[in-house]
Amino acid sequence: MVDAVAFLVILFWPIIPLWWIPVHGANKVVRKIGLLMYPIIGVSWILIAYPIYVNRELLLEYRVDFTIPIRVVGMLCVCAGLFLQVWTLKVLNIKTITGIPEIFERVKARMTIQGPFLYVRHPTYVSHTIFLLGIFLSTGILATGCVALIDFFIVNLIIIPLEEGELLQRFGDEYRSYMKSVPRYIPRLVR
């Protein structure tokens, strides 16, 4: 069961950068492609998922034997990451979640400054980091630790800067003001 969960995380994680990097980084091209973006991402993911699937035994072979308290912390991180993701999705509406405002100019989204967005500008990405770290700590499978690190760096160095640029274009001074008052990734202990 643990191996299956770890494998699913490794297998499906590439969808995150495959979707969000083009949606925020090549917005004009993505808008021209429109709904074709979904099958393009799907085919791209299949091309990446196949070698992951073929090498699944190798990916799951190397482990760290964490102590029970570390595994418990990992499970708590998994739960916290899932909770934050569900909370974030509940605050957002479906049009905002799936990238529809980024693909279609006629779909207008409002800036969301409630729920987890009061504490960090990018709660979805924070939830990924917490969840992926939790999967690594609870399973000890090194490949999941690598996925957690890769996700953290890709999200912070590529996706978030692209997304913030796109949000500045879309919302202007309103988003600029929000950026000044709410931290990007790590919440402040005191508001």
Q: Which domains are present in the chain?
A: 2-181 (1.20.120.1630)
Instruction: Report whether pLDDT(99) > 80.
Output: no
SS3 105: coil
Residue 85 has a pLDDT of 93
pLDDT at 128 over 80: yes
What's the pTM value of the predicted model, to 2 decimals?
0.88
Higher pLDDT, 35 or 143: 143
C-alpha 21/C-alpha 17 separation (Å) is: 5
Q: Please, what is the average pLDDT of the chain?
A: 89
Which of 29-33, 103-107, 115-119 has the weakest average pLDDT? 103-107
**Rounded to whole angstroms, how far apart are CA atoms 172 and 111?**
11
Region 164-175: mean pLDDT is: 90
Burial readout 56-65 (b: 16 or more C-beta within 10 A, e: otherwise): beebbeebee
